[in-house]
Structure 1
Amino acid sequence: MHLIELYKSVQGESSFTGMPCIFVRSAGCNLRCAWCDSEYTFSGGTPFTEDEIVAQIEALAPCRLIEFTGGEPMLHAKELLPLMRRLLADPRGYTLMMETSGERPLQDVPTAVHKIVDVKCPGAGSAFGSFRMSNLDILTQRDEVKFVLRDRVDYEFARDFIREHSLNEKAGGILLSPAFIKVPSILRSADNMELDARHLVDWMLADGLDARLSLQVHKFIWEPQKKGV
């Protein structure tokens, strides 16, 4: 399995925000979102065996929350799924998360894994429409669906998608996250977001939308372009 980085920090998104977390970031992505903030994952990486990955995770103990991210981790499903099963069976009691675009089939991911599934909005550009709709059928209450928003058009798409597909009944949480600009300043401020979070809050309240405002808190703790955090 080719990895870009493996490190310990705090979780910056989802309902696990603020919790210490080990990040296993894989190389490669088959989508090209217009707002992507991790283009450095598109190529390269270093090959690791399953044993080497587990050894690095154990070295970062006592952290028990692990997120698989990328790039797109499901491009490595052949290696990733056995690794997930091994970690879930470990007596240390790991909690596993995975960030995924939802373009790859997810039915073989162990149900104990907390899936954060990203449905691409129109502002994602060429990646819009890539979501595999059959993945909605395997969501559980431990999973969350995320929408990254650039503008009002993206918000309305997300709002209508949530309602049309009864996402609150299928998943445990709905996340609405303002996109960050491609080349942010070094300032750790909301000025780096493409969509003003105040507008997003106003829209959510006006529509009575049952969703969570999700800000990437790591970009407010560290410089937005900093890696390994």
Structure 2
Amino acid sequence: MHLIELYKSVQGESSFTGLPCIFVRFAGCNLRCAWCDSEYTFTGGNPFTQEEVIAQIEALAPCKLVEFTGGEPMLHAKELLPLMDVLLTQGYTLMMETSGERPLDLVPKAVHKIVDVKCPGAGAAANSFRLSNLETLTKNDEVKFVLTNRADYEFARAFIAEHRLNDLAAGVLLSPAFTKNPSPLRTVENATLDPRTLVEWMMHDGVDARLSLQIHKFIWEPMKKGV
């Protein structure tokens, strides 16, 4: 498997926000979201065996929360799924950030999937979500929408209602996108959609979702890697 980086930080998103977490970031992505903040993962990376990845994770003990991200980790499913099985038997809590474009039916049910449904503002990646993946969702999982504007919000609101996402998953995340060229300031001014505006829409419409702010972009400078 090819990895871009493996490091320990705090979880910046989802219901695990703020918890110490080990991040295993895979190389490569088959989508090109207009707002992507991880373009450095598209190429490169270094090869690792399963044993080498586990050794690096163990070296970051005592942290027992691990997230697989990318890029798109499910492009490495052949290597990733057996790795998940081993880590689960060792008592780790596992998360995976995925676009939902790849089939998710073989992912162990114990893994907490954060599944990203692409909105129109994602550009070429919009409408890439594999609807059959809704059948794989459990109460361990969360569904995320990255929003750039009102049209994205309305798309997410309709999708949540149409597919009754809160009946399928543990919750829904609405996350304002960040500009691809942010200032070094740790401020909401770098968001393409003002979080306060988004909260006002959510409260007005009674949307059953959680605001997700990527807190690592407020703890460190927004473009900082490995945090």
Give the TM bin, normalised by the shorter chain. Answer: over 0.9
Q: Deviations over 1:50-82 (max 9, x none)?
A: 000000000000000000000000000000000
Unaligned runs of 5+ in 2: none
Using the TM superposition, give the Cα deviation of residue 100 of structure 1 relative to its aligned residue in structure 2, in angstroms: 0.1
Structure-to-structure mapping, 1:1-229, within 5 angstroms: 1-90=1-90, 93-229=91-227
Using the TM superposition, give the Cα deviation of residue 167 of structure 1 relative to its aligned residue in structure 2, in angstroms: 0.3
Q: Following the alignment from structure 2 to structure 1, what is the Cα–Cα distance between the partners of residues 205 and 151? A: 14
Using the TM superposition, give the Cα deviation of residue 138 of structure 1 relative to its aligned residue in structure 2, in angstroms: 1.0
* Secondary structure of the corresponding residue to residue 146 of structure 1: strand
TM-score, normalised relative to structure 1: 0.99
Off by >3 Å, runs of 4+ in structure 1? none
Paired AA for residue 42 in structure 1: F
Q: Following the alignment from structure 2 to structure 1, what is the Cα–Cα distance between the partners of residues 48 and 140? A: 29
Paired AA for residue 6 in structure 1: L
* Secondary structure of the corresponding residue to residue 21 of structure 2: strand
Q: Following the alignment from structure 1 to structure 2, what is the Cα–Cα distance between the partners of residues 4 and 200? A: 32
* Secondary structure of the corresponding residue to residue 105 of structure 2: coil
Identity of aligned residues (%): 78
Paired AA for residue 195 in structure 1: L
Q: Following the alignment from structure 2 to structure 1, what is the Cα–Cα distance between the partners of residues 58 and 191? A: 35
Paired AA for residue 114 in structure 2: I
Q: Deviations over 1:123-153 (max 9, x none)?
A: 0000000000000011001100000000000
Q: Following the alignment from structure 2 to structure 1, what is the Cα–Cα distance between the partners of residues 135 and 103? A: 11
Unaligned runs of 5+ in 1: none
Q: Following the alignment from structure 1 to structure 2, what is the Cα–Cα distance between the partners of residues 216 and 54? A: 26
Paired AA for residue 169 in structure 2: A
TM-score, normalised relative to structure 2: 1.00
